[in-house]
A and B are shown apart, each in its own frame.
Chain A
Amino acid sequence: MSPPLVEVSAISRTYAMRSGMFGRAAAVHAVDGVSLTIARGQTLGLVGESGSGKSTTGRIVLGLEPPDSGEVRFDGKPMAAPGTTAWRAQRARMQMIFQDPLGALDRRLPVAAQIREPLDIHDIGTPAVREERVRELLRAVELTPAHGARYPGALSGGQRQRIVLARALATKPDFLVCDEPVSALDVSIQAQVVNLLCDLQAQLSLTLLFISHDLRVVRQISNVVAVMYLGRIVEIGSADDLFARPEHPYTQALVSASPAPGRRSAGRIVLSGDPPNPAARPAGCAFHPRCPSAIARCKSEVPALETVGGDRQVACHLVTGAATRDAA
């Protein structure tokens, strides 16, 4: 078995945040000891609510910002120091897609020129080869050269996201980080882009880190799903199994909160309390103030991510400590 393409070990990232103009700086643990591996050609879905650290994790994995501690290894090698030749070569092999395609595109340039830009930056091929590659990329995302001559403002939301995707694929990357790539799109267009992403992944054997708050879309595209809460992974497992049998109380609430046609809200788990504030992280298990089944131990002791059978890992005293469960 080949080694995983992406190995993330115990990365952490802390920001200093000031509350108000004269407030004291507080440390915000955006990401706290996250470890992940993504096998070649596979998709890892990262879900969680706002402030859970999923986007920061994506940025660190891509080397857009350094972790305070921990390490990211890509294709067996640690990330090169930013600005070096090795770093540039590595960056060409990994790309990112954001939620807002209009923000990611330059409104004053025809989109074909923007798809071409990575080829110019990384000095790939002759000008003629680059032109041909742009046409090929437009075809790959199911657009025509006529679309390439337009400006972003003259394209629809779905078409813009295809352009962003084409640009990300220009350097033939092995690894794509997609941060909420379809959240801003209407349902029917969202399905087009999700299908396209699945097809391209299969054709180009891409490895994906797919970040989203939408459980349905994540399940559709992912092999493995990790659930984050306040900077930590609370549960990780294969996509179908995780959503069918969530173990962590937070995952259970998330799955139950996802509305489904044909299911009336009877039996829904409605969590009390507000989404957590990353600057005031509760002691012990960060989820305990909202957890319907929290016990005394949850308030003091941070649960570690432990394997509970198969490929499922859960960070919850109630799930991992069977003895504790009996006592409760």
Chain B
Amino acid sequence: MKPLVSIEDLRVAFGGVPVLRGVDIALQKGEAVGLVGESGSGKSVTWLAALGLLPRHAQVSGSVRLDGRQILGAPANELDHVRGGRIAMIFQDPASALNPVLTIRRQLCEALALHRDLQGNAVKAEARRLLDLVGIPDAGRRLEAYPHEFSGGQVQRIMIAMALAGNPDLLIADEPTTALDATIQAQILELLSTVRRELGMAMVLISHDLGVVAENCDRVAVMYAGRIVEQAPSNQLFADPVHPYAQGLIGALPPLDGPRRRLTAIPGTVPDPAHMPGGCAFAPRCALVADACGLAAPTLAPIADDRSVACVQAEASRRAVLGIAAE
């Protein structure tokens, strides 16, 4: 099956400092993919770069294809159709994404006018339908309200409604629930999964919260220092992480039930992008580090169906295990 979006060797640098160092990821139609990693790992930059949303001084290279068509560096009029129309994005801080002095109706209708061929009353009816869809009670009347009249959870619902205005094939949700309380987070995640099921839309869920990603995505990619270090189906990644960084992230998460154990903290901190270590970027913090790790940065290599990992050590030991099993 041809992927909906395929990103190959995407690189981004700011002022000569590389922040994204070769990302490859592909998405099928209707698929939910999670992107996890710590701050600065390049989760958001990947998609901002793909959609041409980075400031002009960013140096971007690589390839981003949507239905086989190259969109990286595409002219603005072509991108205008892609952004919001084919691929929509929602952010962590919904309140700052809305204009405080315009009613919700004005802002929703603006999105509809841009991406849909609707006129007059049909626009308003559609805006109302979208608000209904995302679970804003009394949608007809609430259309005339301003952003400050809604709670944080409701504002995120409105952002989702605006994102859906263009009937996108892919929704990029960048930390959509990080600023929300636990019970509201549960509501928004449920809304996203319902909408996705009903509209058959693909989703990229960017989050630092492993639990959120595990529960809502089919497949997960773990990012570290501007690269994807492991890619696997969600259940496999969390049951059996292979990359030492993925293992570390999961070990650092306190359990909610069962016996308490000492957390396995990853020592040290994320490397400074301007002083990236030669070889594997995780090597200075890695417990399994060997001489080979300092030689060259490992590339993402398949270790099983649907699974790949960028680690010299893990790949070798996995292959050995699989080789023995096959005999």
Q: Whose C-beta in chain B lies nearest to the C-beta of A263?
A: B215
Lowest 7 A-B CB distances belong to which pairs? A259-B211, A261-B238, A191-B252, A220-B254, A49-B181, A191-B265, A261-B214
Q: Whose C-beta in chain A lies nearest to the C-beta of B39?
A: A186
Could you show 15 A-B contacts with beta carbons less than 8 Å apart? A49-B183, A186-B208, A188-B252, A188-B266, A191-B251, A191-B253, A195-B262, A219-B260, A259-B215, A260-B215, A262-B214, A270-B187, A271-B186, A274-B153, A275-B181
| Contacting pair B269 A158 (CB below 8 A) | yes
| Contacting pair B187 A261 (CB below 8 A) | no
| Contacting pair B182 A262 (CB below 8 A) | no
**In the complex, what's the smallest C-beta–C-beta distance from B92 to chain A, in angstroms?**
14
| Contacting pair B211 A188 (CB below 8 A) | no
| Contacting pair A216 B254 (CB below 8 A) | yes
- Report chain B residues within 8 Å CB of A257: 182-183, 185-186
- Report chain B residues within 8 Å CB of A205: none
- Report chain A residues within 8 Å CB of B264: 191
**In the complex, what's the smallest C-beta–C-beta distance from A248 to chain B, in angstroms?**
13
Q: Does B87 contact A (CB under 8 A)?
A: no
| Contacting pair A268 B186 (CB below 8 A) | yes
**In the complex, what's the smallest C-beta–C-beta distance from B30 to chain A, in angstroms?**
17
Q: Does B139 contact A (CB under 8 A)?
A: no
| Contacting pair B239 A216 (CB below 8 A) | no
Q: Whose C-beta in chain A lies nearest to the C-beta of B191?
A: A270
Q: Does B140 contact A (CB under 8 A)?
A: no
| Count of CB-CB pairs between chains A and B under 8 Å | 129
Q: Does A240 contact B (CB under 8 A)?
A: yes
Complex-state Cα separation, A177 to B151, whole angstroms: 30
| Contacting pair A259 B209 (CB below 8 A) | yes
- Report chain A residues within 8 Å CB of B73: none
Complex-state Cα separation, A159 to B267, whole angstroms: 12
Q: Does B154 contact A (CB under 8 A)?
A: yes
| Contacting pair A195 B257 (CB below 8 A) | no
| Contacting pair B183 A254 (CB below 8 A) | yes
Q: Does A102 contact B (CB under 8 A)?
A: no
Q: What's the interface size class on A, roughly?
A: 35 or more
Q: Whose C-beta in chain B lies nearest to the C-beta of A218?
A: B254
- Report chain B residues within 8 Å CB of A295: none
Q: Does B216 contact A (CB under 8 A)?
A: yes
| Contacting pair A265 B184 (CB below 8 A) | no
Q: Does A244 contact B (CB under 8 A)?
A: yes
Enumerate B119-159 residues with CB–CB distance to A below 8 Å: 151, 153-154
Q: Does B276 contact A (CB under 8 A)?
A: no
Total contacting residues, chain B, CB less than 8 A: 46
| Contacting pair B182 A213 (CB below 8 A) | yes
Complex-state Cα separation, A255 to B38, whole angstroms: 24
- Report chain A residues within 8 Å CB of B270: 186
Q: Does B160 contact A (CB under 8 A)?
A: no
Binding site for A on B (CB under 8 A): 38-39, 151, 153-154, 181-187, 189-190, 193, 208-212, 214-216, 234-235, 238-239, 248-257, 260, 262-267, 269-270
| Contacting pair A194 B263 (CB below 8 A) | yes
| Contacting pair B252 A258 (CB below 8 A) | no
**Contact status of A270 and B254, CB under 8 A, knowing A187-B38, A188-B265, A259-B209:** no
**In the complex, what's the smallest C-beta–C-beta distance from B189 to chain A, in angstroms?**
7
- Report chain B residues within 8 Å CB of A271: 183, 186-187
Q: Whose C-beta in chain A lies nearest to the C-beta of B285?
A: A188
Given contacts A254-B183, A261-B238, A274-B154, 9 further A-B contacts (CB under 8 A): A187-B210, A187-B252, A187-B253, A195-B263, A258-B211, A259-B209, A261-B215, A271-B183, A272-B187
**In the complex, what's the smallest C-beta–C-beta distance from A219 to chain B, in angstroms?**
6
Q: Does A69 contact B (CB under 8 A)?
A: no
**Contact status of A260 and B211, CB under 8 A, knowing A187-B38, A189-B269, A220-B260:** yes
Q: Does A190 contact B (CB under 8 A)?
A: yes
Complex-state Cα separation, A191 to B247, whole angstroms: 13
Q: Pick the most buried of B214, B235, B254, B262: most chain A CB atoms within 10 A of its CB.
A: B254
Q: Whose C-beta in chain B lies nearest to the C-beta of A271?
A: B183
| Contacting pair B211 A194 (CB below 8 A) | no
| Contacting pair A219 B186 (CB below 8 A) | no
| Contacting pair B183 A188 (CB below 8 A) | no
Complex-state Cα separation, A265 to B189, whole angstroms: 9
Cross-interface CB contact of B263 among A220, A262, A269, cutoff 8 Å: A220
Enumerate A167-195 residues with CB–CB distance to B below 8 Å: 186-192, 194-195
- Report chain B residues within 8 Å CB of A113: none
Contact with B along A245-284 (1 / 0, CB 8 A): 0000000011111111111110011111011000000000
Complex-state Cα separation, A187 to B181, whole angstroms: 18
Complex-state Cα separation, A268 to B189, whole angstroms: 11
Complex-state Cα separation, A234 to B182, whole angstroms: 17
Enumerate A228-250 residues with CB–CB distance to B below 8 Å: 240, 243-244
**In the complex, what's the smallest C-beta–C-beta distance from A169 to chain B, in angstroms?**
20
Q: Does A307 contact B (CB under 8 A)?
A: no
Q: Does A217 contact B (CB under 8 A)?
A: yes
- Report chain B residues within 8 Å CB of A244: 257
- Report chain B residues within 8 Å CB of A269: 186
Cross-interface CB contact of A254 among B182, B210, B253, cutoff 8 Å: B182
**Contact status of A219 and B269, CB under 8 A, knowing A265-B189, A271-B183:** no
**In the complex, what's the smallest C-beta–C-beta distance from B275 to chain A, in angstroms?**
14
- Report chain B residues within 8 Å CB of A270: 183, 186-187, 190
Complex-state Cα separation, A213 to B182, whole angstroms: 8
Contact with B along A270-304 (1 / 0, CB 8 A): 11101100000000000000100000000000000
Complex-state Cα separation, A145 to B50, whole angstroms: 44
Q: Does A50 contact B (CB under 8 A)?
A: yes
**Contact status of A253 and B183, CB under 8 A, knowing A188-B252, A215-B256, A274-B151:** yes
Complex-state Cα separation, A86 to B38, whole angstroms: 45
| Contacting pair A262 B239 (CB below 8 A) | yes
- Report chain B residues within 8 Å CB of A144: none
- Report chain A residues within 8 Å CB of B260: 219-220, 240
